[in-house]
Structure 1
Amino acid sequence: MNEPWTAPPGDGTAVVPIGDVWDVVEAPAETAAWVRQLRRVEAPAIVDPRQGRAWWLIPRGSANPTAWLWHQLQPTVVVRTSGSLIVPHAARSDGLRWVKPHPWGGTYLAQPERLAAVLTLLRSATAARRASVSPFYARGDTDAGPG
């Protein structure tokens, strides 16, 4: 299902080309936290808390940005099939790092259909939540307290 690929050993980072072994799915870091809680994606995300971004690696050729699977998630989710990505080494624990699901079977590449399904679910839930919150309207005078 997933091609074998592992993060480099150590605690540094490496610039790795996108599209040689894997493609990339990018989303807000907050999304990665929700994906991890749902436990439906068995691969870790690369998270950069300073940028507030997260990246999942998926098998090469499965991130066609125009495919309906990914197109419906734009612009929040971006897929990349070329370029490069700074990848943390396996033991890195600060800053740019791997955030692994529990339990984790050691696979670094996510299953694209499963990842897209979870991202779609999260997008739908967020849209439904926004639609159910009524806007605040000021009522009466602006003075507070008994009058």
Structure 2
Amino acid sequence: MPGVLTLLVLVLLLGSPKGLAVEVLSIHELASHCERLEAEPMSADGQYCVRYIQGFIDGAVATDARVMMNVEGAQETEETFSDRAKRTRVPNNADRFRAARLAGFCLGDPLPLRNVVGAIVADLAKLDHGTAADTPAREAVYKSLMEHYPCPA
């Protein structure tokens, strides 16, 4: 009987169009979580806000580091399997810094996450009105990071 129930749930999820797509988080939705951050930093909303921003930053740097290393690897013609494995599986700090420049923002070491989150939350609060509120949150977070934390020339 449990197998039939599992199968039924899977059929219902696959039949739903939302089950196949990732829902885009809007500026308004993220701002509504972040507005509780100062008063209740450990609340579910406060943690959602911090973790979304932290995940965005981690994802941007990790993705850019991987893309950068793959592009550099494609340009090298004489690379052994073990060299490629080291290059692609263990990015070092220099790789991460170069990747951050590709991302368009550079977060210095060490920089408290609360400072970064505070700057982004302030920008979200300004954008959480009118037509900008429906814009994807990822675009606002990215723009805020580029404005507040540009890479040195």
TM-score normalised by the chain length of structure 1: 0.28
Higher strand share: 1
Larger Rg over CA atoms: 2
